Every structure is written in C-alpha cells, then in structure tokens.
Structure 1
C-alpha cells in the first residue's frame, strides 16, 4: 500500500510541475513578446500557428491547477476529520485571496498604489476552497453531481450580461462573466469568475476518491484513461457540431493549420465546457500514463509541482524584474514597467513597440525556469524535512 501512495503522489506532482512550467511561458510572453501589445494570440485574423500554439499549450495550466487543488483537498481529507478539513480549506482559501490582492497584485504591476486588481487564478483557487470547505460535509455523490451539473450547464448562462458598473453587476461578473469594473478609482477585473472554476474543483475533489479509497493502481489507471478519452471524444464531437459548449464557434480558415487553430480556439474567460473538456481530458490521460517510476525529466519537474505557490510568487517577481531590465536595455525608462492596467496595448499603450521575437521569448522562459529550479528544489527538501511546521502548508 505505501508503494501505491508514493506513485500516486508523484504522478499528481509531476502533472502539476509540467503545467506550472508551461504557465511561466505564458507569463514570460506577457512581458516580453512584442506582439503582446499589438493583438491577441487567439485573434485568427492576425495570429500565426507558432504564436497561437504558444498560447494554446498554456491553456492547460489553470484548469489543471484548480482540478488538482480539489484532488489534493480530498487526499488531505484522509488525514483529517471533516471539521478539520473544512477549517483547513477555509483558512487556506482566505490566505490565497489575501495573497492575490497584495503580494501577487504587486508582482503583476510593480505599482504600490494598486490602481488595478486582477481577480485571477489564485483568487479563484482561494474562493473555491472556501466554498469547498462548506461543501465537504455533503455526500460525495452529491458533490460529483454538482460538479458535473456546473461543468455541463453553466454555458446556458452565457447570454446573461452585466452591462453596468453597479455592485450588482460586479457580483454577476465575479460569479460568471469576465468584466472590468471601476470602484473608488480602482480597476477590478473579474478574470476568473467563480461558477465554472468551482465546477472544476468539485470534479477534482471527486476524483480524489479514486486515490484515497484503496483502489488498485491498475483499476485507477483504467478509470483515468476512460474518463480522459471520454472527455476528449466529447470535446471533438461537441466542437464539431458547433452548437453548444462555447461562445466562440470555429470556422474554416485560409489554411488547414489555421482551421485547426480555430477549432481549438475555445473560451477561457470564463472556461467553457469545451475548454474544460479539451484541457482536463488530456490531463486525466497523463495521470493514467505517468503512474509509474519517474524518469530523469520527471525527477526534474516534480519539485516544481510540490511547491506550486512558492514557484508562482517567485516567478512573477523574477519575470517582471527581468522585464524592467529589458525595457531599460531597449532605451526606455524603467517606469514603463510600472503598470496601471494589464499587459496589452490598450492598458499600457506606451509599451507598443517594445518587445522581442518569439524565439527570444522562449529563451527567457528557459532562463526563468533554470533560475528557479534550485530554489524550488531546496524549498521542496525543506518542506519534506520539516513537516512539523504548520505554516509550510500555506506556501
């Protein structure tokens, strides 16, 4: 039994490590790629395959984080009573929300005035954990049913919009629509609405039952494969029909590869049913195939997956710090990287004309990962050797 537990944890940490490294690529692109300030990589009228797939591969990051956060919560619950698990999730969730609005917000903007707040992935992880902290008392089958209902049905709400700037509109934005609001001189972007991400976390929590109920590894792999392949097939069918599950239908483009790009160009904000199927299906297959001893590459990636929040905070400050150096070397004032909005031409028009080709963006990404690897490995070792320190579970 201990052997199964070890393999299980390594496969989950490996998947988390892979996606967190890919996430760094997306954030390096935000701060360094020249086209970031001109157009979206998902704009079929201006993008190219290399840029589109650079963005597309990072779509796996957020849903896998949220899904595995649910799975990890289920595994933590094996060592705690329901009351203890509920308290842990609520405290950790509130901590993540505070981090998003302070430490992480500062990392994104380098602006101590905090002119804008981005309610992003750490925010939604936190608030979904708080909600899950209440829901852990429910029967497991009911949690699974609610997760499926949200995942499948939330796109029925797509035509409901918050058109104003009232508190009521803001609540709807927080619940289901990506919007920008203005309150007390501050911009607030509801980039990660709660409802669809909660569905993903509930499904991840339900998946934890396949690990913490003593299921034989072979049976678990079969379950993961069936669920993963089923999700992929359902994505292909629904996307092909082009009727339900995403606000952005695909269309034939000028070339076969761009048509494929259009087919894969599903909605992340908020995550549509098709977006979730497209990303979580392969993730489940990955978990099934990687439940085996790690190879050399896996051993390198696992430490990243064991300290994801530590990596997340450090990588934002490192990337933004390197961007300050890059903007100065480009002949611009360092204050160009003190932001009052997002990393795009609309929010930061003074950055139009700054940036580098995609190849250099990839090189900077590799540099960031290499610089952070020894720190993550050392911190992972410290956490492993000091399990008695309660605060380590919050970083």
Structure 2
C-alpha cells in the first residue's frame, strides 16, 4: 500500500521528473536551434519529422505539471485537513504568480521591464491553486462535472469573436493566446484561464486513488483503463475530424506529413484533443511505473521531488549558456536581452545550431543539473522544519 501521509509516491515523482527534463528540451530548442528564429516547428510547410517530434513530446509537460499539482494538493489535504489546505493553496498560488512576474520572467528575458508581463505555466499553476482553494469546499461531483464540461466544451468557443467587455482583453485572459497592449503596458497571455484551471481539480480528486486504503492492483487497473479511454477518445474524435481542436487534419503528399498533420494539435489554449493525448499516455505511465526500478528511475524521482527548483535553475542556465553561444558565434550579446520572447528576437535570425547539437546541449544540461537537484532534495529532506523550503 502507498502511505500518502508519511512517504512520497515514487511513480508520481518519476513522472513529474520525466516531464521536467522533457520540458528542458523544448527550452533548449528555443534558445539554441537555428530554425527556432525562422518558423514554428508545427508549421507543416517548413518543419520536418524530427523537429515536429521534438516539439510534440514536450506537449506532455504542462498538462502533467498542472494535473499532478492537483494530486499533490490532495496529499497535502490528507495530512493537514481542508481548511489548512485552502490556506496553503492560497499562499502557494500567490507566491507562484509573484515568481512568474519577477524571478522567472527575468530568467527568460535577462531584462528588467516593469511594463511587460509574461504569463506562462507558473502563473496558471498559481491561479489554478487559488481557485482550487475554494473548489475543494464544494461538492465533489459538482466540481468534477463542471471541470469535465469546461475541458470538453471550451472548443465550442474557438470561433467566438469578443465584443463589448470581452473585447477589452477579458476574453484573452479566459481563452486566447495573445499579446495585450494597454498604453505602455504589455501582457503576453501564453496560458489563458480556460481550460487550464479545470485540469487541476481533476488531478486533485485523482489523488484519492493513492489513499492507503486503495488496493494497488485495482488502482493500476483503473489507471490503465482511464488512460486507454482517453487515448481511444482522442483517436475517434481526431480520425473523424468531429470536434476537439480548432484545426482539422488533412491528408498530405506523404504519409509522414499526414501523420504530422494528424498530431498537430493546439496547445494555446490546450484543445480537448491536446489534453486527451497528453494526459492519457501519462496516466498509463503512472500505472506501469509502480513496477519500475533502476538507476534512471531513481534519478527521475529525485528531479521530480524538486520541480520548482529545477524549473527556475534550468531557465537561468539555458539563457546564460545561450548568451555565451551568441557572443562566441559573432552576434551581439544585446540580442539575448529579450523584449517579448527569445524566438521573436529579429536580431537572432541566422544564429543557432542544428537539431543534433540541441539534443547534445540538452543532455549535458540535464546531467549537469542533476547533482545540484540531488543536493537540494537531500537538503529539503534533512531540513523539514524550514517552512520556506516548501515554496521551492
């Protein structure tokens, strides 16, 4: 049995660690890949199989991160109770939003710009926690039903044209990937509210499968069935081009590009199909991982136990290395002091390396960051009395 009150669950930590290092691959590609400054890797007119796959596998990071944050909140609630959990979620949510707007933003940009806000996955994690702090006091069935309806139904509004109050930017915060400008203030909404904040409550109630009274074999069976159900639903909807994504897939001149078109699903905001094909396989991994072991598994567990620490450190290291690479390859260092996002820097056109070099840099980065993550995990374990450690 798994004791959620006294021990961590290795399979969950392993999955979190796995998506963290995959996430690092996408960020290394952003800062080092030659083509990143020329076109989007999902653009069928210019991409290739290896590049599209590199981008596609990183789709798993954000959904799993948000979903498992809800699961972790469930474990905290089991130890502390609902009232204490609400307070914890509110504090942590506000802290994450603060981090996104300050320390994390500076890591991405290497520039202090009080007039520019970059709202990415950490901001939506924080906001989802604040909302979850209230949802946990509502009837469980109602929260699950509303969350599923919002995730399933939000694509019905893909063609919605905002008017009135929604045209002022409200709709962007709710359901658009867009740069908002209010005079000298710019807000890049990369992660809108819907449906992200409804993924976390499902992860929260998912945690009940890991209660000490739950049979492990039954849990594994449920996880496999749930994961397969999501995947099958994805294929049915996608094959028939019925619903679930703003863009339909179309046959291409080759089977490889037809496959790319088929799996070219929308992340901003995440479509129903996007969440089905990312969360489905991830839940299956959780089912299988309970029997896994080995040195690689253990190292992924370590990284998964310090996700926020890894997240912040890896941004700064990647950006610093990219700054050095820019100077070495003859570009002006000022090009790495980012205005909006690194791939939007016009001065970086012509900079970068091929995809093979990107993978090498990624592997070296992960290997280099592991020792400090291991040290920090040990430090946290040996200093549980230090309350501030729970925020990193």
TM-score with structure 2 setting the length:
0.96
Residue 352 of structure 1 is matched in structure 2 by 349
Q: How does 1:243-258 map to 2 (within 5 A)?
A: 243-258=242-257
Q: Secondary structure at the match of 1:181?
A: strand
In the TM superposition, residue 364 of structure 1 has moved relative to its aligned partner by: 0.8
CA contact (8 A) 2:52 2:260 kept: yes
Equivalent of residue 359 in structure 2, options 357, 362, 380? 362
Displacement of 1:292 after TM fit? 2.4
CA RMSD of aligned residues (A): 1.7
Q: For residue 264 of structure 2, what is the aligned residue in structure 1?
A: 265
Residue 77 of structure 1 corresponds to 77
Partner of 1:101: 101
CA contact (8 A) 2:5 2:78 kept: no
2 CA distance for matches of 1:18 and 1:28? 16
**Separation in structure 1 between the aligned mates of residue 140 and residue 318 of structure 2, nearest angstrom:** 41
Query: Could you list the runs of 4 or more consecutive aligned residues of structure 1 that deviate by over 3 angstroms after TM superposition?
Result: 1-8, 161-164
1:142 partnered with 2:142: yes
| C-alpha deviation, 1:113, in angstroms | 2.5
| Map 1:30-179 → 2, pairs under 5 A | 30-114=30-114, 116-162=116-162, 169-179=168-178
Residue 381 of structure 1 pairs with residue 366 of structure 2: no
Asked if 2 retains the 8 angstrom alpha-carbon contact of 1:8 and 1:291, the reply is no
Structure 2, unpaired ranges of 5+: none
CA gap of 1:153–1:70, structure 2 versus 1, over 3 A, is: same
Q: Is the 8 A contact 1:7 1:292 kept in 2?
A: no
1:341 aligns with 2:347: no
Q: Distance in 2 between matches of 1:26 and 1:6?
A: 35
Give the Å deviation of 1:302: 1.0
Tell me by how many angstroms 1:5 deviates: 7.6
CA drift at 1:250:
0.6
Counterpart position of 2:278: 279
Q: Distance in 1 between matches of 2:134 and 2:94?
A: 13
Identify if the C-alpha distance between structure 1 residues 8 and 84 changes in structure 2 by more than 3 Å, giving closer, same or farther. closer
Which residue number in structure 1 is paired with residue 202 of structure 2?
Answer: 203
Please report the TM-score for the alignment, with normalisation by the length of structure 1: 0.96
Distance (whole Å) between structure 1 residues aligned to residue 112 and residue 299 of structure 2: 35
In structure 2, distance between residues paired with 1:52 and 1:65: 21
CA contact (8 A) 2:3 2:212 kept: no
Q: Do 1:106 and 1:114's aligned partners in 2 also have CA atoms closer than 8 Å?
A: no
